[in-house]
Amino acid sequence: MNTPRLFTVTDRRDEITATVTLELQPLDDQPLPVARPGQFNMLYSFGAGEVPISLSGSINASDSVRSADRYTHTLRAVGKTTEALARLQVGDQLGVRGPFGRGWPMDQLAGKKVVVIAGGLGLAPLKPLLEALLADITHYGHVQLFYGGKRPEELLYPESLIHWSEKIEVQLSVDQAGPDWRGHVGVITQLLASAEMDPDNTLAVICGPEIMMRFTIQALQKQGLPDTALYLSMERNMHCAVGHCGHCQWGPHFICKDGPVFCYADIAPWFFQREL
């Protein structure tokens, strides 16, 4: 397992509750490996530990292209390591290993209608994908975003959502809302059930809590999308990120090197298996 590379925080942004976005730059002058949307890095906070965190898009909604010399990560403080990472300020140093894993199938999205479905913080790994699609929208054609969250104020990247909704169809759904909320109250599967889709020419990319992805897949199958058209990002315990530690095994798959993004057709036999 490689030693982490030394990075510093160049920008930081508080997002929703306990959630921050960090922009990171290496402190050496070596080139930065290209991170493809859907890949992840291992972030090490001194003395606290290391966690896998997906690459997210640019830190400012107005940036149309990610800077090639930075990595951006959105993370939520839910444990010792993520709490330490969330406390990092601009100028603080940390270790980074990566990028690792197979990302979203960008090549296969070209020329297709793309349905992007995110739940909760699952929007973060999809943000670089959305930015890539929007930067080259003529190449990708029709893009829809369905995004579900608990409450309106718990939806990630509100400025980006507004920005995106000027270019693509954005449908937001929350479990609960106050009377001022003009978006959908209910569940994302309901939006998917009533959405107009072209099942023969659409690819769906999905990221969110596993239970939400299960329901989403069923809703998309009802819409007639074949299993080969569904892509989702999986999560399991991970220590090494390079297929050696064994923790992220899921049936025959290693989430770290075979995923985290999988085509549903390849994992369908395992997806509904419990305690796998």
Residues 56-85 that bind another protein (CB under 8 A): 56, 73-76, 78-82
Residue closer to another protein, measured from CB, 88 or 134: 88
Q: Closest distance between another protein and the C-beta of residue 9, in Å?
A: 11
User: Is the torsion defined by CA of 186, 173, 267, 200 positive or negative?
Assistant: positive
DSSP 135-159: HTHHHH--EEEEEEESSGGG-S-HH
Residue closer to another protein, measured from CB, 163 or 239: 239
Q: Is 150 in the site for another protein (CB under 8 A)?
A: yes
In whole angstroms, give the CA distance from residue 202 to residue 200.
Answer: 6
Q: Closest distance between another protein and the C-beta of residue 5, in Å?
A: 8
Residue closer to another protein, measured from CB, 76 or 113: 76
Residue listed under structure tokens 């569904």 = 230
Residues 7-36 that bind another protein (CB under 8 A): 17-19
Residues present in the chain in total: 276
Residue closer to another protein, measured from CB, 66 or 73: 73
Please check whether residue 259 is in contact with residue 253, taking contact to mean a CB–CB distance below 8 angstroms: yes
- What DSSP element (H or E) covers 258? helix 255-258
**210 to 249: interface string for another protein, x by CB under 8 A:** -xx--x-----------------x-xxxxxx-xxxxxx-x
Residue closer to another protein, measured from CB, 66 or 76: 76
In whole angstroms, give the CA distance from residue 148 to residue 230.
Answer: 18
Residues 108-137 that bind another protein (CB under 8 A): 119-122, 124-125
* Residue of 71, 149, 170, 220 interacting with another protein (CB under 8 A): 149
Please check whether residue 266 is in contact with residue 273, taking contact to mean a CB–CB distance below 8 angstroms: no
In whole angstroms, give the CA distance from residue 49 to residue 186.
Answer: 38
Q: Which long-range contacts (CB under 8 A, 24 or more apart) does 84-87 make?
A: 84/45, 84/46, 84/47, 84/48, 84/49, 85/22, 85/43, 85/45, 85/48, 85/51, 85/53, 86/18, 86/19, 86/20
Q: Closest distance between another protein and the C-beta of residue 81, in Å?
A: 5
Residue closer to another protein, measured from CB, 136 or 210: 210
Q: Closest distance between another protein and the C-beta of residue 127, in Å?
A: 11
Q: Is 1 in the site for another protein (CB under 8 A)?
A: yes
Q: Closest distance between another protein and the C-beta of residue 137, in Å?
A: 25
* Residue of 157, 254, 264, 271 interacting with another protein (CB under 8 A): 254
